[in-house]
Amino acid sequence: MHTKDFAGRMAPLGPFEAEPRLGVAVSGGADSMALVLLAQEWAAVRGGAVLALTVDHGLRAEAASEARQVGAWLRAHGIAHRILRWQGAKPKTGIQEAARDARYGLLTERCRKEGILHLLLAHHREDQAETFLFRLARGSGLHGLAGMAPLSERADLRLLRPLLEVPRAELRSVLDARGQAWIEDPSNEDRAFARVRLRALLPTLAQEGLTAERLQETTGRMAVLRADLEEGTAALLAEQAILYPEGYARLGKKGFLAASPAWAHTALAQLLRVVGGGVHGPRRERLERLAAALGQTRFRSRTLGGCRVLADGEHFLFCREMRKEAAQPILPGTAFHWDGRFAVEVAGAKAGSARAKQASALRLCRLGPKGWAEIAAAAPKLRETRLPAAVRPTLPALWDRQGVVLVPHLGFCRAGGGRSAAALLKRLDFRPLQPLAGPAFAVV
């Protein structure tokens, strides 16, 4: 593949700024190393540049040194490089899924801080084929079988996959032509993971005609159908759904129950992701069970995808499920996503200052039933709030050792510190990780 070929693959993913600055996720493997070199050449012609981002998951002893090696290789090509580390405890099960979610979170946050609007990912033809087989084995419907999109819109970022139609071997030839080495990740050969086992099946399947190219053609046809489905779903949500700044939603019963099952199920999945704070929706079987329950005249309440769904007059009410979670420290000058729903930005403070000392005593977590009882006793007029009772305990609140200090969405400030705590929060906005209904699935 030459720079001209790569430019042809980037063209349908635009538009780009006049001097594009691209983020590129680089693991050090052959695929991502080829991508970052091609992207740098593409950007340089347009007066732009690339920032390579490597995530050290901390799951292998060699990961840190490999990340440094990637940085050394890229510096030789004049490419800026940053290492992002996944800190904290790691789960004992579902490690690949957790690592993927952590990786996307770190990459997205770094791009936001750098003002980067486009993040390039190195998924290629065989990756797309593996994704199709993996989702087929899990019983995915149209949404999953459409595979990975060449372009995905996020709140602050566009994810671009310009290599989805390119075979793995062609990417390795890019590196061979430039004399560039790469790193082989041993986890890619670990048959404990389903994706690795499916990858090993591809040569056998190809003998029966199920080549990676044929599987990619299938995902392409599914993608066209998914795009049509998402356009209809967006129209349904625009007419029937209401999102509230406190992080909950209502869905009109009559319109929802009258919609086609395909539109209704997709709309339901979107609402669960947005209000539940997740990136991935629930499995199809569980979604279908919930949809069937919503059609029952005696429906009261169900939970799924981190949400509670309740009957609410002529609507269904979607609110966050109450679960135990770790409190989030309030560190001056930081920005983060809380609960998968709220964008938080904390004002800066000099070390040792009164503001910094106050911030060190604060934690962000849900209000909870105990917190609601506390603030309602301190300010009885809060009981007149329009917020549904199920929503109140799910609200973000600042706490210290004495109790609740601040609940912005209720206008509650505790006497003797609440207003100064409010000054620390520059931003606390309902901003889900994914929009309720954005552009339809990209087909290029």
Q: What is the pLDDT of residue 369?
A: 95
Nearest by Cα to 444 from 234, 231, 151: 151
Instruction: Give the DSSP letter of residue 339.
Output: T
Q: What is the pLDDT of residue 138?
A: 84
Sequence-ordered alpha helix ranges (H) in 11-141:
30-45, 63-76, 95-114, 125-137
CB-based contact 79:36 (threshold 8 Å)? yes
Q: Which amino acid is at 54?
A: T
- Which tokens in the block code for residue 174? 């890019």
Maximum distance among all alpha carbons in the chain?
Answer: 74
90 token code pair? 């790691």
* pTM for the full predicted model: 0.76
Residue 269: C-alpha distances to residues 146, 274, 318, 319, 435 (Å): 16, 9, 12, 14, 12
Three-class secondary structure of residue 169 per DSSP: helix
Q: Is the peptide bond before 245 cis (omega within 30 degrees of 0)?
A: no
What is residue 51's predicted lDDT score, i.e. its pLDDT? 98
Which pLDDT value is given to residue 1? 76
Q: 46: phi > 0 → left, psi -120 to 50 → alpha, else beta; which?
A: alpha
Cβ proximity of 307 and 321 under 8 Å = yes
Please enumerate in sequence order all residues whose Cβ is within 8 A of that of 365, keeping only pairs 6 or more positions apart, or say none.
325, 326, 327, 328, 396, 397, 399
pLDDT of residue 56: 93
- Give me the DSSP letters along 219-276: HHHHHHHHHHHHHHHHHHHHHHEEEETTTEEEEEHHHHHHS-HHHHHHHHHHHHHHHH
Query: What pLDDT does residue 61 have?
Result: 84
Spatial contact of 416 and 404, defined as CB atoms under 8 Å apart: no
CA proximity to 141, closest of 287, 306, 8? 287
Q: What angle do CA 343, 148, 19 make, to 5 degrees?
A: 65
The predicted structure's pLDDT at residue 66 = 94
Give the model's pLDDT for residue 87. 87
Q: pLDDT 10s per residue in the chain (444 long)?
A: 788 899 999 999 999 999 999 999 999 999 999 999 999 999 999 999 999 999 999 888 889 999 999 999 999 999 999 999 998 777 877 787 888 888 998 999 999 999 999 999 999 999 999 999 999 988 888 888 999 999 998 877 899 999 999 999 999 999 999 999 999 877 777 777 777 888 888 899 999 999 999 999 999 999 999 999 999 999 999 999 999 999 999 999 999 999 999 999 999 999 999 999 887 778 888 999 999 999 998 999 999 999 999 999 999 999 999 877 778 999 999 988 899 899 999 999 998 898 899 899 999 999 999 999 999 999 999 999 999 999 999 999 999 999 999 999 999 999 887 888 889 999 999 998 778 887 778 887
Q: Is residue 441 exposed (0-12), middle (13-18) or buried (19+ Cβ within 10 Å)?
A: buried
The CA distances from residue 20 to 44, 46, 48, 157, in Å, are: 9, 7, 5, 13
CA distances from 325 to 212, 271, 320, 366 (A): 42, 22, 13, 9
Check residue 283 and give its pLDDT. Answer: 84
Place of tokens 């069937």: 292
Number of helical H runs and strand E runs in the chain? 15, 19
Separation of alpha carbons 115 and 122, rounded Å: 21
pLDDT at 58: 85
Q: What one-letter code names the amino acid at 24?
A: V
Domains and CATH numbers, the chain: 3-210 (3.40.50.620), 328-430 (no CATH)
Q: Give the whole-angstrom CA distance, residue 117 versus residue 94.
A: 30
* Integer CA distances (angstroms), 230 to 27, 146, 267, 381, 439, in order: 32, 12, 9, 43, 8
